[in-house]
Amino acid sequence: MTEILYLIAAVCFILALQKLSSAETSRAGNLCGIFGMAFACLAVYMSIDVSEIWFILTAVAIGGSIGIFIAKKVSMTALPQMVAGFHSLVGLAAVLIAFSACFAPALFNISGENGIFTSSLIEMGLGSAIGAITFTGSFVAFLKLQGTYKSNYIPLSVNTCIAASIVALLVYFICTESVPAFIILTVLSLIFGATLIVPIGGADMPVIVSMLNSYSGWAASGIGFTLQNDLLIITGALVGASGAILSYIMCKGMNRSLPDVIFTAGTPASAAKSSSEAKPFKQGAAEDAAFILKNASSVIIVPGYGMAISQAQHALKELGDILKKNGTTVRYAIHPVAGRMPGHMNVLLAEANVPYEDVFELDEINRDFATCDVAYVVGANDVTNPAAKNDPSSPIYGMPILEVEKARTVLFLKRSMGTGYAGIDNELFYEQNTMMLLGDAKKMTEAIIKAM
């Protein structure tokens, strides 16, 4: 019965991933995931001694209470940090299980007359190393996304030496079953997780979040072999593979490779520079924007992290509804790496009940900016920066952008004229057809609605 429940749970998880790939079916995908986890937990309860179930139920009650508290407290803008935090906990769980198996192999049925089985040593070593990297790497990503820690330069040679040491210790541990080697391996992996993520810039964080997601899956899958749990192996592989695919999609959206994202962060040349030279720009007020929007026949709204930080999604939905009543065509353009994690903007727009059919990806809508009357940009700084096409020395050069500069008028909502998350100036601010609307995006949009 346990194996049957595991099979049902695995099918539910696969269906969850399949349905989560579309906004229209994502709610059903979440339900599939919930049912899959319920079946998985039921299988565990059925496979253990009744006298031990209270330990597990107590742990579930504590963890579940913390989860409910976090779910109620965390705002939609802090979802990337929450995701990074969850990845970190998965990595920590893998490390703790690997340590338990190393110090008490008999309890895991992974030891014979000649010591721990070689296959189990490989699983433990890899599970602990990947888990430790995921734990500290995700924690650093959490701090960066929270805005409490900024990138710092770490020479690539340092990370290369640490990585080589980890591989050497892993081989030594597998060959000798040395507990000190296992401990040092884990400690170095904890350090490597931090030093790997510390130098990576803000513009690359969506890639890093999906990459760490993949790491957490492989760590869980490796530990699944140690625990001899088929469902954990399958689930970890699903998370690892989907995270890897998502990382590829994010890199493609930035026109970069994953090694380029990781390894060029360790060079001083990758540090972004912004121009200190003061340039003239056109600044407008809510009344000016209202007049322009009222006379527009087509408007494309481009949300970015500015929308998330100001919670402007509901005001944007209201503005879109007013424009539609005036006969204006309204669409939303989403860049693959807009925000701080993959799908960040889609989640916020869905929260505001923006119709799915009005939301378009970069490839679907980019050609329409040339025939658009107004591009209404809300804090989408780096993903609209023409420097990605015009400046070979720019850190974002070669990244596909939303070509909002081709619109007849660009209304750019931003708190100030400061740089974006990549730390570089946006050429779009100083174009003749751009009007800067400086201030809080939500308040500015509400003022525009009032003026209209």
Contacts of 402 (CB under 8 A, 6+ apart): 302, 333, 335, 362, 365, 366, 369, 380, 383, 384
382 is catalytic: yes
Does an H or E element contain 409, and which? strand 409-414
Active-site hit among 204, 368, 382, 425: 382
Non-local CB neighbours of 322 within 8 Å, separated by 6+ positions: 449, 452
Q: Classify 373 as helix, strand or coil.
A: coil
Helices (H) and strands (E) counted in the chain, each on its own, are: 17, 8
One-letter identity of residue 383: V
Contacts 24+ apart (CB under 8 A), 263-266: 263/156, 265/151, 265/199, 265/200, 265/201, 265/204, 266/153, 266/154, 266/155, 266/156, 266/158, 266/159, 266/199
For the beta carbon of residue 325, count every other beta carbon within 10 angstroms: 8
Rounded to whole angstroms, the Cα distance separating 245 from 242 reads 5
Convert 413-441 to b/e letters by CB count within 10 Å (16 or more is b): bbeeeebbbbbbbbbbbebeebbbbebbb
The string of DSSP codes covering 257-295 is: -HHHHHHGGGSGGGS-----S-----B--HHHHHHHHHT
Residue 300 bridge partners (DSSP): 331, 375
Q: Mark out the alpha helices in 286-428 (DSSP H runs).
A: 286-294, 305-310, 313-325, 344-351, 362-365, 387-390
Give the whole-angstrom CA distance, residue 83 versus residue 74.
Answer: 11
Contact between 390 and 281 under an 8 Å Cβ cutoff? The reply is no
Beta bridge partners of 333: 360
Q: List, in sequence order, every beta strand (DSSP E) within 78-122.
A: 111-112, 115-116
Positions marked catalytic: 382
